[in-house]
Structure 1
Amino acid sequence: MDLRAFNTKDYNLLIQWIDCEKLNYQWGGPNFNFPLDRIQIHEHCSQTNVFPFIFVVEGTEAGFVELFKVSGTHFRICRVFVPEHFRGQGIAKLMLKQLIALAKEKYQAEMLSLVVFNTNKTAKRCYESLGFVETSLEKGKRSWDGQVWDLITMEMRC
């Protein structure tokens, strides 16, 4: 299992994974339009404060995650994604453990934060198991097809 830098060769893989409008919104929020395309991905990943990664398991791409540099020692974990056929195997937790270690070692992160939809109980439990704690709840920040999704901010000191 290895976390490696996301590059232009991976764009089509991400486009294949994010294959419907709802999933695009859950993954990218209002920052990406559906269908996801190479131009949007390139513009996003070219930002100097965005560090995207692919998680590889036994030679197969099994996940995507990025670090967003908020400040010198504060990074936000964003766009955590595991494709359907890898879900339920603990892949997200393994990927995040490697990302946390990388954030500490390579980027000298002292604070990691993330935002998760309140409806995503599985992800919230995963983050809590890694040491993240809820620090705020923003009600009514996102909605999809008449459903309102609250946003939970979670943080972890490194």
Structure 2
Amino acid sequence: MVLEQFKEKDFAQLIKWIDSPELNYQWGGPAYDFPLTTEQIATHCANPDITPYLFKVNGDNVGFVELLKVSNTQYRLCRVFIDEAFRGRGLANNMLEEVMLKAKSQFDCAEISLAVFEHNKAAKKCYEELGFETYDQEVGRVVPNGDSWDLALMEKRI
């Protein structure tokens, strides 16, 4: 298992994974329009406060995650994704543990936060298993298809 810098050569993998408007919003929030394009990804990843990673297991591209710098000691996990073919194996936990280690060792991060839609039960359970606790909630966030999704805001000291 290895966490690598996400590079332009990896953009096509992300575009392949994010294959519906609903998944696009659940994964990327308002940061991306569907369908994803290389231009959108390049523009997003050019932000110096964003550090994107590709997660590989036995040479297979398995997942994606970003660290967003909030302050000198606080980072946010964003756009967490595990390929559907690899779900249910605990790999999200492994990927997130790796990215939190990088946040602490490379960026001197003391606190890490994230946001997850409440209906994404598997993701929320994963974050809770890693020690994240909900500190706030945004109720009734309207998403592009007109539905209303609640958003849990979670954090953890590392």
**TM-score normalised by L of structure 1:** 0.97
**1:147 partner letter:** D
Q: Tell me the residue number matched to 1:96.
A: 96
Call closer, same or farther: CA 1:33–1:144 in 2, change over 3 Å.
closer
Q: Tell me the residue number matched to 1:51.
A: 51
Q: Tell me the residue number matched to 1:14.
A: 14
Q: Tell me the residue number matched to 1:5.
A: 5
Q: Tell me the residue number matched to 1:131.
A: 131
Question: What is the alpha-carbon distance in structure 2 between the residues aligned to residue 56 and residue 97 of structure 1?
Answer: 14
**2:79 partner letter:** R
Question: What is the alpha-carbon distance in structure 2 between the residues aligned to residue 53 and residue 142 of structure 1?
Answer: 29
CA shift for structure 1 position 148? 1.1
Question: What is the alpha-carbon distance in structure 2 between the residues aligned to residue 146 and residue 52 of structure 1?
Answer: 29
Q: Which runs of 5+ in 2 are unaligned?
A: none
Q: Tell me the residue number matched to 1:85.
A: 85
Question: What is the alpha-carbon distance in structure 2 between the residues aligned to residue 53 and residue 21 of structure 1?
Answer: 22
Q: In the comparison of the two structures, how many residue pairs are matched?
A: 158
Q: Tell me the residue number matched to 2:106.
A: 106
Identity of aligned residues (%): 48
Question: What is the alpha-carbon distance in structure 2 between the residues aligned to residue 42 and residue 151 of structure 1?
Answer: 27
Question: What is the alpha-carbon distance in structure 1 between the residues aligned to residue 93 and residue 142 of structure 2?
Answer: 25
CA shift for structure 1 position 21? 1.1
- The answer as to 2:26 corresponding to 1:37 is no
Question: What is the alpha-carbon distance in structure 1 between the residues aligned to residue 48 and residue 42 of structure 2?
Answer: 12
CA shift for structure 1 position 89? 1.1
